[in-house]
């Protein structure tokens, strides 16, 4: 089968719609369940490329959580601490390596991952399927599924959950095309291989980038390769913790992603971990409530009694000083950028989120200013000399 009819395109008025192979070959995918749409497939194909490259670069199982053709999170396997299990709501689950990778990918930004499309580099096993079954998600793509996992996934969304299997040996054509306004664009596929050799040109006084930080920088850069530009990505301990996508100003990307990374770390604050949620509050509502609690939960809310809608007892709000003191303990964060930083303001903002390692293409007329700013904060920065725009 070399074509598949879709219900409609990006929007219901955009018909007809289909995916097909121009070269006449069979499609490299099988739809095992559900009826994926146009946006589902864009998310599926972009996210699968991301996890496949993460696996190749690190040798570890990888997972991604996609929304609107950009990742909300991406991660490789690493055993979860008790704190991570708690903030990702998986304390009660048995987790395989690929399930752990997905828990970490979704946990980077749980609010943005609501209704995500999932990509796995490995076979989807029943542990991963059980995790997915209780989250709000639109679909999944993976190279294979165990029978037990497939049965679990088929129960989601009243039996309509999208499950796509992709041929892991599929090699796309080197030339790709896209139409816009009736005009066809042609370019070579972005097959740039991102590996540790990109991190050799360290231009700062601090030349020390340990192996763990190199992995985080690779995760950041590979994630950016499939993120709508402009984009930056903060990473730590084998996962993205803040992704800023599609902003016209790079410093706005840096701020957006930095705020998400801050939020990820604030979820680990003892006050947040001990919030006395009512048993009937669902995980998505807990996510929203935690976000409000971290950002602007105040005495006014407490005095109005609104807390009773979520908590069994009245919680203490987080003070501004407590937030500042907690964020000071976030360290050794890696930051990647899909194009050069034009000003040192990006580095100033990154320093507030514990960034110590930076990878960016370089090539700005203000490179000296950016390097000087990194030196001010004792950061190690590598020039990759490769831009990663994605549109």
**In tens digits, what is the pLDDT along the chain, a chain of 391 residues?**
889 999 999 999 999 999 999 888 999 999 999 999 999 999 999 999 999 999 999 999 999 999 999 999 999 999 999 999 999 999 999 999 999 999 999 999 999 999 999 999 999 999 999 999 999 999 999 999 999 999 999 999 999 999 999 999 999 999 999 999 999 999 999 999 999 999 999 999 999 999 999 999 999 999 999 999 999 999 999 999 999 999 999 999 999 999 999 999 999 999 999 999 999 999 999 999 999 899 877 666 656 677 888 899 989 889 999 999 999 999 999 999 999 999 999 999 999 999 999 999 999 999 999 999 999 999 999 999 999 999 9
| Calpha distance 272→88 (Å, rounded) | 13
| Calpha distance 126→149 (Å, rounded) | 4
Same domain, 189 and 66: no
Same domain, 289 and 208: no
Predicted confidence at residue 299, as pLDDT, reads 61
Predicted confidence at residue 295, as pLDDT, reads 86
Asked, for residue 391, whether it belongs to a domain, the answer is: no
The tokens for 171 are: 């090699």
Cα 72 to Cα 136, 206, 245, 305, 371, distances in angstroms: 14, 31, 9, 33, 29
| Calpha distance 266→347 (Å, rounded) | 21
The contacts of residue 281 (CB under 8 Å, 6+ apart) are: 289, 310
Q: Show the CA angle centred on residue 173, arms to residues 168 and 178, nearest 5°.
A: 110
The contacts of residue 376 (CB under 8 Å, 6+ apart) are: none
Same domain, 147 and 231: no
| Calpha distance 72→145 (Å, rounded) | 23
Same domain, 378 and 238: yes
Predicted confidence at residue 1, as pLDDT, reads 82
Predicted confidence at residue 238, as pLDDT, reads 96
Residue 97: Cβ within 10 Å count: 17
Boundary of a domain, candidates 117, 145, 171: 171
Give the β-pairing of 162-166 and 137-142: parallel
Asked, for residue 390, whether it belongs to a domain, the answer is: no
Same domain, 300 and 352: no
Same domain, 259 and 274: no
Cα 265 to Cα 165, 262, 289, 337, distances in angstroms: 34, 5, 16, 21
* CATH number of residue 246's parent domain: 3.40.140.20
Predicted confidence at residue 103, as pLDDT, reads 97
Boundary of a domain, candidates 155, 171, 187: 171
Predicted confidence at residue 210, as pLDDT, reads 97
| Calpha distance 350→220 (Å, rounded) | 14
Predicted confidence at residue 298, as pLDDT, reads 63
The contacts of residue 365 (CB under 8 Å, 6+ apart) are: none
Q: Which residues belong to the active site?
A: 67-68, 230, 391
Predicted confidence at residue 301, as pLDDT, reads 60
Q: Report how far apart the first and last C-alpha atoms of the chain are (Å, whole number).
A: 28
H-state helical runs in 122-268:
126-133, 147-153, 211-225, 250-266
Cα 51 to Cα 89, 143, 223, 264, 288, distances in angstroms: 23, 11, 9, 21, 28
Asked, for residue 322, whether it belongs to a domain, the answer is: no
Burial class (CB in 10 A: 0-12, 13-18, 19+), 291: middle
Predicted confidence at residue 309, as pLDDT, reads 87
Boundary of a domain, candidates 281, 296, 317: 317
Predicted confidence at residue 303, as pLDDT, reads 62
The tokens for 102 are: 């997905």
The DSSP call for residue 198 is G
- Output helix, strand, coil percentages for the chain, rounded to the nearest 5: 35, 20, 40
Tally of structural domains, the chain: 3
Asked, for residue 131, whether it belongs to a domain, the answer is: yes
Same domain, 257 and 288: no
* Closest-CA residue to 61 (of 96, 94, 107): 96
H-state helical runs in the chain:
38-58, 82-87, 97-107, 126-133, 147-153, 211-225, 250-266, 270-273, 283-296, 299-304, 320-327, 345-351, 367-376
Q: What is the pTM of this model?
A: 0.95
Range of the domain at 368: 176-266+327-383
Q: Show the CA angle centred on residue 283, arms to residues 151 and 37, nearest 5°.
A: 50
């Amino acid at each position: 089968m070399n074509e598949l009819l879709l219900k409609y395109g990006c929007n219901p008025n955009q018909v007809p719609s289909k995916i097909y192979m121009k070269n006449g070959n069979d499609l490299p995918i099988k739809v095992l369940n559900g009826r994926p749409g146009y946006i589902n497939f864009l998310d599926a194909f972009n996210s699968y490329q991301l996890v496949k490259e993460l696996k190749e670069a690190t040798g570890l199982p990888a997972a991604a959580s996609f929304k609107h053709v950009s990742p909300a999170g991406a991660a490789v396997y690493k055993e979860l601490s008790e704190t991570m299990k708690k903030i990702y709501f998986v304390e009660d689950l048995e987790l395989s390596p690929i399930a752990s990778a997905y828990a970490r990918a979704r946990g980077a930004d749980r609010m943005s991952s609501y209704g995500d499309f999932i990509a796995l580099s490995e076979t989807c096993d029943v542990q991963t399927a059980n995790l997915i079954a209780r989250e709000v998600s639109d679909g999944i793509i993976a190279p294979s599924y165990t029978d037990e996992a497939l049965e679990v996934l088929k129960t989601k969304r009243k039996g309509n959950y999208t499950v796509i299997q992709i041929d892991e040996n599929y090699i796309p054509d080197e030339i790709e095309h896209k139409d816009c306004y009736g005009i066809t664009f042609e370019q070579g596929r972005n097959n740039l291989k991102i590996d540790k050799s990109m991190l050799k040109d360290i231009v700062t006084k601090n030349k020390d980038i340990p192996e763990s930080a190199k992995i985080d920088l690779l995760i950041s850069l590979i994630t950016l390769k499939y993120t709508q530009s402009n984009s930056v990505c903060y990473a730590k301990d084998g996962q993205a913790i803040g992704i800023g996508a599609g902003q016209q100003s790079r410093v706005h990307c840096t701020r957006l992603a930095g705020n998400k990374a801050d939020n990820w770390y604030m979820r680990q604050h003892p006050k947040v971990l001990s919030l006395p949620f009512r048993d009937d509050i669902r995980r998505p509502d807990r996510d929203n409530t935690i976000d409000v609690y971290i950002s602007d939960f105040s005495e006014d809310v407490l005095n109005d009694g609104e807390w009773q809608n979520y908590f069994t007892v009245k919680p203490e709000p987080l003070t501004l000083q407590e937030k500042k003191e907690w964020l000071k303990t976030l360290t050794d964060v890696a930051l990647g950028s899909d194009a050069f930083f034009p000003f040192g303001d990006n580095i100033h903002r990154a320093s507030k989120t514990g960034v110590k390692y930076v990878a960016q293409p370089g090539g700005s007329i203000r490179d000296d200013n950016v390097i000087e700013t990194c030196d001010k904060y004792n950061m190690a920065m590598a020039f990759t000399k490769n831009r990663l725009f994605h549109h």
